Chains A and B, each alone.
Chain A
Amino acid sequence: MTAHTSSDAQPGFRERAIQVLASPDLQENFHDAMAFLRQKRASAFADEEHFQRLQAESQRIKQEALSQLPDLLETLEARCTVNGIQVHWAETGAEACDLIRQIIEAHVPHREGQPIRVIKGKSMATEEIGLNTHLEQHGMHCLESDMGEFIVQLAKQSPSHIIMPAIHLRKQEIARLFSEKLPDTPYTEDVDRLIGIGRQVLREQFEKADVGISGVNFAIADTGTLCLLENEGNGRLSTTAPDLHIAVCGIEKVIPRLSDLPPLLSVLTRSATGQAITTYVNLISSPRRLDEKDGPSAVHLVLLDNGRSRMFQDAELQATLRCIRCGACMNHCPVYAKIGGHAYGSVYPGPIGQVIMPQIEGIRAHGEMTEACSLNGACGEVCPVGIPLPDLIREQRERRAQLPEYSRGKEAWIWRLWVLGYRHPQLYRIWSRVVTQLRRLSPRRLRPWSPSRAVPRPARQTLHERMKAHAAQMNTSGKHSR
């Protein structure tokens, strides 16, 4: 349901973006939400120096973690194991899905005619591997418990933002959705009541769920601890109420020490929603011990590669593995604010998506979105771990331009001519003179540019001619004044 594989069969990036641009409502939703999040972040970093210090420290910690990545993963595995958390490794999304299903089937007793009930905390890693679809294909019942994810799942859509999944919907749409899809639910636009309805539905499910699945924000190697941030309490419930907890964690989430956590926490929550801290910070280090009365009796950690070790080998793209998934880059991206998350057709939208999706699912499937960037640099400035996003997006464009299907296209030929002209001054002069002299013949319509913009017309004179004339004038006027 939420898996995005290749975009071949569906409309491409361009068509999806055009669809959104035709809907003023959608654009308004995104515009408002982005303005809200940007303002929140700005007030959390009122002091620019504070931000820079935190950014430097966070970047340092994540870079240190990358420089010791294999060792840290082994330490994490060893410490978790000692504390009773079972660690698994998955190279691909498909492998992770299989693994998780097997863990569940081995743990939950079979009940005839009753599907296994899985409840999920918010997790981008599980979106990335299409876990819900996989488990449902095997007869399990998966329920998203984060309010935004719950709404999106009910609407049979996918998240449009990595922090606020239902950002594209207005409360009227959610009110209609609830009253249509949930039994005995009256239509109400009152947000408190809508949340109350969601709370009630999900509470019943939390009580009955067999399995809780969550993501991980930071995996701490030295203590073997999984850190999970959230405001709602659904993360705590998913990881505490069911008897089995499975955490899915990208291999880049590991950090060396518990003492590295405070600055990262602070920079993540401030960048994401402008909070100094989230309502809940969960530090999970072990399943239920013998003398304890609650908590899952088994905790499994699935370490997910899915393209990350390849990015790691790529000197240019390594830095993307510092990403802490705060969403600030998309909140500050003028293109994202116009077209929203769905247009990208990928799990991770916006600037970070433009860099990592071509890595995870291939440049052919996701290369087109790299064009949706004005290289204005805002994303790179706000990134709390200093990922040079604009440079990396340009790098992706360059790689795409080297694909044979691209280099045979019309655009590639236009650029080749452009390069030729700008490399050879003679050619450039001849060309610009011809264009200025034949300016009356220039086309009045130039698709796809012209429907919404004025068509540029060549000037009367070339720049060289004007400069020459100007210099001559300066000379004569200079003589006069002397």
Chain B
Amino acid sequence: MSLSRNAILNRLRESKVPPPSVAPPPLNTGSAKGDDAQATMTRFTIQLEAAHAQVIRASAADWPHRLLSALPAPMPKQWLLSDTHPLSNTWAAALQHAVPDTEATLCRYASCVEGVKQALFQTIEASLTSAQAAIAETGTLVLEPSPDEPRLMSLVPPLHVAVVNASTLVATFTDYLMQRQWTATTIPTNIVLISGPSKTADIQQTLAYGAHGPKALYVVILTDA
């Protein structure tokens, strides 16, 4: 194995490659620096909606109510929620209040995936997670999965609700990376950028949603007012 490693590296070291001749041009990262917060927010919303996501703006106080009325009928009943994140507690309470009796069946992601895998793939209809940042240029959510909100939560259920704070909105992906300054030791095990529901155009260039991941993506933007 290390034989191949050495052989490859030796061959690479034997030959010289010219460094790039051009000096790095000042690349406009696409961020409209003059934009005010409002314009950036508008841009984010337009891009997300163009990608077939549903966008809901709400305050910290009324988001569960707004989300309830925005969700499609019939309301998904089998939800996968974090067992520790404060947002999921709020949402669980709202669901139980709104849906009569105990019809809403909540599954908490409390153990390792091996314990919930079957339900996750077969019966869960929806999930709710937070998103750690939002990128206006491309209408993108950034999720940094954690023990609180594991990786598969935002991926396997057919409907995914992501809740994001308006204050985390940045103009571009570059801005997000500059803000985080990740290094090899600080970077999360997994980061995923999400820009709409899952889709494919693999059959005769016809766009279809819900190829493998969520068929529907709801984005709740929490604003101060």
The residue from B147, B190, B199, B206 contacting A283, defined by CB atoms under 8 A apart: B190
Q: Which residues of B contact A378 (CB under 8 A)?
A: none
CA distance A33 to B205 in the complex (A): 7
Contact A277 B211 (CB under 8 A): no
The tally of residues in A whose CB lies under 8 Å from a CB in B reads 99
**Tally of chain B residues near chain A (CB < 8 A):** 79
Given contacts A164-B202, A191-B208, A195-B210, contact A99 B1 (CB under 8 A): yes
Q: Taking each of B140, B173, B178, B202, which has the highest tally of chain A beta carbons within 10 Å of its own beta carbon?
A: B202
Which of B51, B122, B195, B209 counts the most chain A CB atoms within 10 A?
B195
Residues of chain B having any CB pair with chain A under 8 Å: 1-2, 4-5, 7-9, 11-15, 17-20, 22, 24-25, 27-30, 47, 51, 109, 111-113, 117-118, 121-122, 137-138, 140, 146-147, 150-152, 155-156, 172-174, 177-178, 182-185, 187-206, 208-214
Q: Would you call A415 an interface residue if the criterion is a C-beta within 8 Å of the partner chain's C-beta atoms?
A: no
Taking CB atoms, residues of chain B closer than 8 Å to A126 are none
Residues A279 and B199 in contact, CB atoms below 8 Å apart:
yes
Interchain CB contact (< 8 A) of A259 among B11, B174, B194: B174
Say whether B151 contacts A305, CB under 8 Å: no
Q: Contact at A95–B155, with CB atoms within 8 Å?
A: no
B residues in contact with A433, CB < 8 Å: none
Ordered by A's residue number, 13 sampled pairs between the chains whose C-beta atoms are within 8 Å are: A170-B204, A192-B209, A225-B187, A232-B200, A232-B213, A233-B211, A234-B211, A240-B190, A280-B192, A280-B194, A282-B192, A309-B11, A310-B11
Interchain CB contact (< 8 A) of A32 among B8, B11, B205, B210? B205
A335 within 8 A of B: no
Find out whether the CB atom of B19 lies under 8 angstroms from the CB atom of A67: yes
Contacting B at CB under 8 A, from A145-168, are: 145-148, 151, 164-167
For B178, the chain A residues whose CB sits under 8 A away are: 259
Interface residues of A in 273-327 (CB under 8 A from B): 273, 276-289, 291-295, 303, 305, 309-310, 312-313, 315, 318
Pair B11/A194 contact, Cβ less than 8 Å? no
Query: Which residues of the other chain, A, contact B214 by a CB distance below 8 angstroms?
Result: 233
Taking the complex as formed, is A82 at the interface, i.e. its CB lies under 8 A from any CB of chain B?
yes
- The docked-state distance in angstroms from the alpha carbon of A259 to that of B206 is 34
Q: Is the CB of B12 within 8 A of A70?
A: yes
A66 near B147 with CB under 8 A, answer: no
Q: Say whether, besides A83-B184, A240-B152, A60 and B24 are in contact (CB < 8 Å).
A: yes
* A196/B203 contact (C-beta < 8 A), A277-B193, A280-B194 known: no
A177 → B minimal CB distance (Å): 11
* Residue among A164, A170, A232, A287 making CB contact with B189, cutoff 8 Å: A287
Interface residues of A in 40-73 (CB under 8 A from B): 53-54, 56-57, 59-60, 63-64, 66-67, 69-70, 73
Besides A171-B204, A277-B173, A309-B11, 9 more A-B contacts (Cβ < 8 Å) are: A145-B212, A194-B203, A199-B210, A207-B122, A259-B178, A283-B191, A312-B11, A313-B14, A318-B17
Are A151 and B137 in contact, CB atoms less than 8 angstroms apart?
Answer: no
Q: How far is the CB of A124 from chain B (nearest CB, A)?
A: 15
Which of A261-269, A360-368, A452-460 is the interface stretch? A261-269
A263 touches B27 (CB 8 A): yes
Q: A277-B138, A294-B113 are in contact. Are A223 and B20 (CB under 8 A)?
A: no
A146 in contact with B187 (CB, 8 Å): no
CB nearest to A313 among chain B residues: B15
> Known interface pairs A195-B208, A232-B199, A234-B212. Does A265 touch B189 (Cβ–Cβ under 8 Å)?
no
Indicate if A212 sits at the interface (CB-CB under 8 A): no
7 closest A-B pairs by CB:
A233-B213, A148-B202, A294-B113, A232-B211, A233-B212, A286-B189, A63-B20
B20 contacts A277, C-beta separation under 8 Å: no
1/0 contact string of A70-106 vs chain B (CB within 8 Å):
1001100001001100001111000100010000000
- Interchain nearest-CB distance for A68 vs B (Å): 8
Give Cα A236–Cα B203 distance, bound, in whole angstroms: 21
Contact A207–B117 (Cβ < 8 Å): yes
- Chain A residues with Cβ below 8 Å from B147 are 291-293
Could you tell me if B189 and A223 are in contact, using CB atoms closer than 8 angstroms? no
With contacts A166-B202, A294-B112 taken as known, whether A283 is within 8 angstroms of B184 at the C-beta atoms is: no
Contact (Cβ within 8 A) A222 B184: yes
From residue B40, how far is it (CB to closest CB) to chain A in Å?
16
Knowing A276-B137, A277-B138, A279-B196 touch, does A147 contact B18 (C-beta < 8 A)?
no
Report yes or no: A199 in contact with B211, Cβ–Cβ below 8 A. yes
CB pair B210 A66 closer than 8 Å = no
Contact status B189-A295, CB under 8 Å = yes
Tell whether, in the assembled complex, residue A67 and residue B18 are in contact, meaning their CB atoms are under 8 Å apart. yes
Complex: chain A residue closest to B211, CB-CB: A232
- Contact A293 to B112, CB < 8 A, known contacts A69-B17, A164-B201, A263-B27: yes
Does the CB pair B25–A56 fall under 8 Å?
yes
